[in-house]
Copies of this chain bind each other. A is one copy, B any other.
């Protein structure tokens, strides 16, 4: 290992300021300094492992996502956004299970120590972690190509977590927020789409700072029959629900929710491509019996999240598309997006 002790101290400094990082870096970060933010952290950073005390009769939802430099982000991404996004993409997975985020473990490989980078990364990381009341309880720091792995854990009632497998024919298909913004921002940056300058910042905000639907996920516990987070795009992700639930879907293309910035930049079938298969939305897609739709829409509005019905589950085992209630062919192959999650 070529990371020197003083460099470990530097790293500890940036993660200690807000919470600390690295069970095994031998840092001077004390357990108690970590426990302040959550009373259920019995041992935080600074021992061989962290110890958390979950509430009785609860399940623990666990997810992990890796972001690699040059693959999931590049020099054009603000460094604080990398920290934010690493937290957000993991919490989005927890939201899709109906879990309340709680504890984070961060593993980093750094090719060299860059203090400015660490300061910005940890700023973005802790802004997101603090907002969602998560504690960083440990991690690992090694030398290597810039790779960031976060494992996030959340608390969920043992019998009320959401899965992909419960959708029933007749259930309504909903998505939260708007679709396609992040993918359109990327296309605009790369010159694949001519995005008007006035709209690019708003779209880029959605790309750089996705909003995991943590509150909505918990509201859905008693309501939804299935849920998934939209990382690869509605088409690919809804397909996981259909497969797991052994059902089909009818999608109303003209119901797909879009932002003002999106509508100002693109429309029609070309827009659908970004809404259906662009990816990086980090919204929730869920199914819910018709009888609960009104109540759910009210609850979501109170929680500050717009939810939109975009279709209905049927027994066909197929995904079909409609525009103004007329069947519309979508070439699924052309839309399929099999990117790994980031």
Chain A contact residues, CB within 8 Å of chain B: 1, 3-5, 8, 23-26, 28, 31, 42-43, 46-54, 56-57, 59-72, 92-94, 96-97, 99, 103, 105-109, 137-145, 147, 149, 151, 153-154, 156, 158, 161, 163-165, 227-229, 231-232, 236, 240, 243-244, 338-342
Q: Is the CB of B164 within 8 A of A96?
A: no
- Asked if B147 contacts A145 (CB within 8 A), the reply is yes
B49 & A99 in contact (Cβ 8 Å cutoff): yes
Contact of B51 with A156 in the complex, beta carbons under 8 Å: yes
B residues near A60, Cβ cutoff 8 Å: 51-54, 60
Contact A97 B151 (CB under 8 A): no
Q: Which residues of B contact A49 (CB under 8 A)?
A: 61-63, 93-94, 96-97, 99, 154
Are A97 and B1 in contact, with the CB atoms below 8 A?
A: no
A151–B66 CA distance with the chains assembled, in angstroms: 12
Q: Which residue of B lies closest to A95 (CB)?
A: B48
Give Cα distance in the complex from A23 to B163, angstroms: 12
Task: Point out the residues of chain B lying under 8 angstroms from A4, CB to CB.
Answer: 338
Given contacts A48-B97, A49-B93, A71-B143, contact A42 B59 (CB under 8 A): yes
Main secondary structure of the interface of A (DSSP, over half): mixed
Contact of B107 with A24 in the complex, beta carbons under 8 Å: no
Give 30 pairs: A residue, B residue, CB < 8 Å, sorted on A.
A1-B340, A25-B341, A31-B165, A42-B59, A43-B61, A43-B163, A46-B164, A47-B244, A48-B164, A48-B228, A48-B229, A49-B61, A49-B63, A49-B97, A51-B61, A53-B59, A54-B60, A60-B60, A62-B103, A63-B105, A66-B108, A71-B142, A107-B149, A109-B147, A141-B340, A142-B340, A142-B341, A144-B145, A145-B147, A147-B149
Contacts of A69 in B (CB 8 A): 144
Q: How far is the CB of A180 from chain B (nearest CB, A)?
A: 19
Contact pick for A24, options B93, B94, B243, CB 8 Å? B93
Asked whether B143 lies within 8 Å of A24 as measured between CB atoms, the reply is: no
Q: Could you tell me if A151 and B24 are in contact, using CB atoms closer than 8 angstroms?
A: no
A144 near B68 with CB under 8 A, answer yes
Task: Check B105 against A51 for contact (C-beta < 8 Å).
Answer: no
List, in ascending order, chain B residues with CB within 8 A of A47's CB: 97, 163-164, 244
Q: Which residues of B have CB within 8 Å of A149?
A: 64, 66, 107, 140, 147, 149
Given A49-B154, A163-B43, A339-B1: A145 in contact with B65 (beta carbons within 8 A): no
Copies in the complex: 2
Residue from A53, A145, A151, A340 whose CB has the most chain B CB atoms within 10 Å: A340
Distance of A152 from chain B, by nearest CB (Å): 8
Tell me which residues across on chain B come within 8 A of A23, comparing CB atoms: 63-64, 93
- Residues of chain B within 8 A (CB-CB) of A57 are 56
Shortest Cβ distance from A239 into B: residue:
B26
Which of A5, A99, A137, A147 counts the most B-chain CB atoms under 10 A from its CB? A147
Which chain B residue has the least Cβ–Cβ distance from A237?
A: B26
Q: How far is the CA of A201 from the CA of B229 in the complex (A)?
A: 49
Given known contacts A50-B63, A51-B59, is B144 in contact with A231 (CB within 8 Å)?
no
* Contact partner, A1, options B71, B137, B156, B227, Cβ 8 Å: B71
In the complex the two chains form, is A107's CB within 8 Å of B65's CB? yes
